[in-house]
């Protein structure tokens, strides 16, 4: 496969792949918009109400709980059959935790989760076993999630072993079919993960997730660890597989440009809460929550028509507050340029202010003010954002739109690598600083190692359940960690 040479080939393939991704984007909006509108008629596959996940912080000899990390703090949403729900937000806002809780890799602290109309909130490990076939997760790190000591055949066939399923025609044949389905060769069956590029590894992870024909796939940042040029391929593959297999996705991403192309609806999270939930067209064309607007503004829009024009970007100032003691009222009030007294004292409920668009804000954008009497800005509001007006560079060469689009995408990724860059909505840069933490919790989710910090303690009791679904990534991954001295 050409992907094995991805580093060298990346420069050469970027324009074509970026163009391909954009072509699809050009084709898909109507389809997606229709699907989003039509999605209301479709059956609800997953319903989440008041979902909470708090991680206790313990101290002292008696390990008494002194506080809690409120990673997910009361969220409601539904996912309908065949749709893709994108979930975005800054690092640490609780996206991965939400993903692990809805797949029941971790137990919720509060709220309910219904899958196909059945309450699965507190099913025991035994009763969860059949559910593991229906709900699968794709992890962010295609390097850490595949056991380097196992062959691809063994990795992709693990779900069959764990569930005691014998596919028609035998496991090997089925695994080879799955490899083909994700664009790999059946001959890769006996090869090892180190022989594959990141994109190919993620395809292997996808094949493993699809082995048992799941109804719901939760993909946690499925492409963020990949080279930009490969991201489009993997996203497109997931999109194709959705149509082919009738899958339902929850796709978690910090990068709005990823969810934009694949989602029917998008949920924006901030500090453990959903602050806006809308179909993709409404969200991108008329965001209502000031935080969504800032996130949008931080994403470079690869639009050749805008070249030579002036654009304004909202740069959020300040750090994301701690989820241990989130701000009172609206959690965003310490960074919001529209914050008034009511924002500090009263938490805005998530309301449907336009058909298909829910928002939790007293003073939403593009909608009627919910607290018009409250007009005096908090002092923090005045310093909360910086509006930066920048001039788009005119196109230098004719017909170079694709190249520029790829550059814009690459720029977004480059920003992600700059840990101290001024907070351009911090989606990208916070990712870098939160990486270690995310890795740690991912390892925990895969049930592979004892948690290093006291903070992660909360994940321990759930490790066995997690290992089950993360297929073979359980004990072998621990071996790997030991062998690499981690």
Ligand X SMILES: Nc1ncnc2c1ncn2[C@@H]1O[C@H](COP(=O)(O)OP(=O)(O)OP(=O)(O)O)[C@@H](O)[C@H]1O
Give me the residues that bind ligand SF4 (CB under 6 A), please: 289-290, 330, 332-333, 336, 338-339, 343, 348, 361-363
CB of 477 to ligand X, least distance (A): 16
Give the list of residues 6+ apart from residue 448 with CB closer than 8 angstroms, or none.
Answer: 467, 473, 474, 475, 477, 478, 481
Q: In terms of Cα–Cα distance, which of 40, 109, 108 is closest to 79?
A: 40
95 binds ligand X (CB under 6 A): yes
Of residues 44 through 73, those in contact with ligand X by CB under 6 A are 55, 69, 71
Separation CA 334–CA 336 (nearest Å): 6
Sheet with 118-119, strands from edge to edge, namely 64-80, 44-59, 110-115, 118-119
84 binds Mg ion (CB under 5 A): no
Question: Residue 98 has which token pair?
Answer: 């939400």
CB of 280 to ligand SF4, least distance (A): 21
Per partner kind, with CB cut-offs from 5 to 8 A, the member of Mg ion, ligand SF4, ligand X, none near residue 333 is ligand SF4
CB of 86 to Mg ion, least distance (A): 14
CB of 392 to ligand SF4, least distance (A): 28
Could you please report the per-residue DSSP string of 383-445?
Answer: TTEEEEEEEPPPPSSTT-HHHHHHHHHHHHHHHHT-TTS--STTHHHHHHHHHHHHHHHHHHH
Residue from the set 303, 341, 437, 439 that interacts with ligand X by CB under 6 A: 437
Separation CA 150–CA 358 (nearest Å): 46
Separation CA 169–CA 30 (nearest Å): 40
Could you tell me which residues are beta bridge partners of residue 52? Answer: 73, 110
Residue from the set 92, 142, 302, 329 that interacts with ligand X by CB under 6 A: 92
Element (H or E) spanning 25, and its range? helix 6-38
User: Is 89:426 a contact under the CB 8 Å cutoff?
Assistant: no
455 binds ligand X (CB under 6 A): yes
Residue ranges in 190-340 assigned as alpha helix (H): 198-210, 228-245, 256-262, 280-285, 290-298
CB of 91 to ligand X, least distance (A): 3
Q: Which residue lies nearer to Mg ion by CB, 96 or 202? A: 96
323 binds ligand X (CB under 6 A): yes
Could you please report the per-residue DSSP string of 29-67?
Answer: HHHHHHHHHHGGGSPEEEEEEEEEEEEEEEETTTTEEEE
Per partner kind, with CB cut-offs from 5 to 8 A, the member of ligand X, Mg ion, ligand SF4, none near residue 159 is none
Q: Which residue lies nearer to Mg ion by CB, 146 or 218? A: 218
Q: Which residue lies nearer to ligand X by CB, 18 or 269? A: 269
φ/ψ of 119, rounded to 5, equals -75, 115
Q: Which residue lies nearer to ligand SF4 by CB, 324 or 367? A: 367
135 binds Mg ion (CB under 5 A): no
Per partner kind, with CB cut-offs from 5 to 8 A, the member of ligand X, ligand SF4, Mg ion, none near residue 203 is none
88 binds ligand X (CB under 6 A): no
Q: Which residue lies nearer to ligand X by CB, 22 or 221? A: 221
Question: Residue 455 has which token pair?
Answer: 């903070």
Quote the Cα angle for 166-168-172, to 5°: 70
CB of 10 to ligand SF4, least distance (A): 39
Q: Which residue lies nearer to ligand X by CB, 207 or 458? A: 458
Separation CA 277–CA 223 (nearest Å): 22
CB of 95 to Mg ion, least distance (A): 5
The residue length of the chain stands at 486
259 binds Mg ion (CB under 5 A): no
Residue from the set 425, 441, 443, 474 that interacts with ligand X by CB under 6 A: 441
438 binds Mg ion (CB under 5 A): yes
CB of 160 to ligand X, least distance (A): 29
In Å, how far from its chain's centre is CA 22? 20
Query: Given the rule CB under 6 A, which residues bind ligand X?
Result: 55, 69, 71, 89, 91-97, 254, 323, 431, 434, 437-438, 441, 444, 455-456, 458-459
């Amino acid at each position: 496969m050409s992907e094995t040479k991805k580093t060298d080939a990346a420069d050469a393939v970027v324009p074509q792949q970026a163009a391909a991704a954009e072509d699809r984007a050009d084709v898909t909006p109507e389809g997606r918009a229709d699907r989003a509108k039509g999605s209301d008629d479709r059956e609800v596959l997953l319903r989440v109400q008041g979902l909470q996940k708090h991680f206790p912080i313990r101290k002292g000899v008696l390990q008494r709980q002194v506080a809690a990390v409120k990673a997910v703090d009361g969220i409601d949403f539904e996912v309908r059959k065949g749709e893709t729900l994108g979930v975005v937000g800054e690092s640490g806002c609780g996206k991965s935790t939400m993903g692990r809780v809805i797949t029941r890799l971790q137990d919720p602290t509060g709220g309910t989760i219904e899958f196909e109309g059945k309450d699965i909130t507190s099913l025991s490990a035994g009763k969860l076993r059949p559910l593991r076939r229906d709900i699968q997760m794709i992890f962010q790190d295609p390097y850490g999630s595949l056991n380097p000591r196992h062959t691809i055949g063994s990795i992709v066939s693990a779900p069959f072993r764990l569930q005691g399923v014998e596919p028609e025609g035998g496991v090997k044949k089925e695994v080879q079919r799955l490899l083909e389905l994700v664009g790999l060769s059946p001959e890769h069956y006996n090869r090892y993960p180190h022989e594959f590029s990141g994109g190919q590894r993620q395809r292997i992870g996808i094949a493993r997730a699809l082995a048992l024909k799941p109804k719901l796939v939760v993909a946690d940042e499925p492409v963020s660890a990949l080279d930009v040029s490969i991201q489009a391929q993997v996203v497109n593959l997931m999109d194709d597989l959705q149509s082919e297999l009738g899958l339902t996705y929850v796709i978690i991403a910090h990068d709005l440009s990823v969810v934009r192309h694949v989602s029917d609806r998008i949920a924006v999270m901030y500090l453990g809460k959903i602050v806006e939930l809308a179909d993709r067209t409404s969200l991108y064309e008329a965001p209502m929550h000031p935080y969504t607007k800032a996130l949008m503004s931080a994403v470079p829009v690869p639009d050749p028509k805008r070249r030579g024009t002036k654009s304004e970007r909202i740069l959020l100032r300040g750090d994301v507050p701690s989820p241990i003691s989130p701000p009172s009222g609206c959690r965003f009030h310490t960074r919001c340029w529209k914050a008034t007294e009511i924002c500090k004292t009263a938490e805005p409920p998530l309301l449907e202010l336009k058909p298909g668009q829910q928002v939790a804000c007293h003073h939403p954008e593009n909608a009627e003010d919910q607290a018009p009497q409250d007009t005096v800005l908090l002092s923090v509001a005045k310093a909360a954002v910086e509006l930066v007006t920048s001039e788009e560079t005119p196109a230098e060469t004719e017909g170079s739109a694709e190249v520029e689009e790829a550059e814009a995408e690459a720029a977004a990724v480059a920003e992600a690598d700059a840990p101290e860059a001024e907070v351009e909505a911090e989606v990208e840069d916070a990712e870098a600083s939160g990486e270690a933490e995310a890795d740690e919790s991912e390892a925990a989710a895969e049930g592979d190692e004892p948690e290093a910090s006291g903070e992660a303690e909360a994940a321990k009791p759930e490790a066995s359940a997690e290992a089950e679904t993360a297929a073979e990534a359980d004990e072998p991954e621990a071996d790997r960690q030991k062998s690499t001295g981690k």
